[in-house]
Amino acid sequence: MKLFMFLAAMCLPTFGVASEQYITLASTTSTQNSGLYDQILPKFTATTGIEVRVVAVGTGQALRIAKNGDADVLLVHHRPSEDAFVEDGFGVQRYDVMYNDFVIVGPNDDPAGVAIARSVAEAMVALYDTETIFISRGDESGTHKKERSLWAEAARNPSGSWYREIGAGMGAALNMASAVDGYTLTDRGTWLSFQNRGNLDLLFMGKNSLLNPYGVIVVNKELHPHIKSELAQRFVDWLISEAGQAAIGDVRIHGKQLFCPNASGQDQAKNKACPAS
């Protein structure tokens, strides 16, 4: 009993945390693994005193967490899901924040000939026809949803032992692609920060056809009264402000820019400083 009381006392600080100023952000592994939050959040906390607690999961799970009211704000990358989230009343409004692009990576000898494809559809057809190993996320993440839409655009329905749905995160997919000399679709941020490349090389960039836009949404307080919508809105306001956008544009890994801020609604294709162009 004494032990129990001792333990309860030790747990108290964690109950007490609730009174401090913090918000919970449900987001994607791609943004966390690339180091985005490590670089921009300290700047936000320094200006506002609000701590941001990031729970990084796949886009599908992030949406689920936000729907349950377990996060105050959502930052993900699958436009149709984001719009549905707002339409269904779970979110207040979606804001553009930033974008980068998806790329196809694979073994550097490129047996499928993806590097010489003239369009992303052609690249997908090449992968399909040569039946070279392709690692699919298979986890309803933003990247997985994008991949499915690419197959649909190429009018191919992949199946067979070469097409491996692993049901795991981007890092796990890259690790596996690296281990078996397979291809995979990845966002550029995760790819740039990924350390275990082995024989993998960036083989195909789709420019405008493979844009990967991120949106931010405050969870609707009307559905979940405890949502800290005021603090969350301040976070969103900061993200799309000049200071926040500059902080995002400043994020570098190995000297390369990771994300292109686009909250001001500037034409994405014309933003020359960005990795997508």
Partner 1 sequence: MESLSKAVQLIVAADPDLVAIVGLSLFVSLSATILASCMAIPLGGLLATYKFAGRRVILIFASSFMALPPVVVGLAVYLLLSRSGPLGSLGLLFTPTAMIIAQTCLIFPIVLVLSMEAVKPLARDYDRLMSAMDVPPFLRLRTLIWDARFGIFTALLAGFGRALAEVGAVIIVGGNINGLTRVMTTTIALETSKGNLQLAMALGLVLIFLALLVNSAIHAIARVGKKYEVTR
Residue 152 gets the label, from left (phi > 0), alpha (psi -120 to 50) or beta, of alpha
State the minimum distance, in angstroms, from the CB of residue 38 to partner 1: 8
State the minimum distance, in angstroms, from the CB of residue 1 to partner 1: 8
Q: Which is nearer to partner 1, 113 or 171 (CB)?
A: 171
Q: Which is nearer to partner 1, 22 or 162 (CB)?
A: 22
Q: Which is nearer to partner 1, 105 or 123 (CB)?
A: 105
**Residue pointed to by tokens 């500037």:** 266
Binding site for partner 1 (CB under 8 A): 1, 3-4, 7, 10-11, 14-15, 17-18, 24, 29, 32-33, 37-38, 53-56, 67-70, 169-172, 174-175, 178, 193-197, 224, 226
Q: Which is nearer to partner 1, 20 or 267 (CB)?
A: 20
Q: Which is nearer to partner 1, 225 or 265 (CB)?
A: 225
- Nearest one of 46, 47, 41 to 247, comparing CA atoms: 41
- DSSP letter for each residue of 198-244: TTEEEEEE-GGGGEEEEEEEEEPTTT-TT--HHHHHHHHHHHHSHHH
State the minimum distance, in angstroms, from the CB of residue 90 to partner 1: 11
Q: How far is residue 38's CA from residue 56's CA, in Å, rounded to a whole number?
A: 13
State the minimum distance, in angstroms, from the CB of residue 116 to partner 1: 27
Q: Which is nearer to partner 1, 161 or 195 (CB)?
A: 195
Residue 253 identity (one-letter amino acid): I
User: What is the number of H-type helices and E-type strands within the chain?
Assistant: 11, 12
**Cα angle 25-62-216, degrees, rounded to a multiple of 5:** 55
State the minimum distance, in angstroms, from the CB of residue 269 to partner 1: 30
State the minimum distance, in angstroms, from the CB of residue 13 to partner 1: 9
Strands (E), 29-149: 51-57, 73-76, 91-107, 134-136
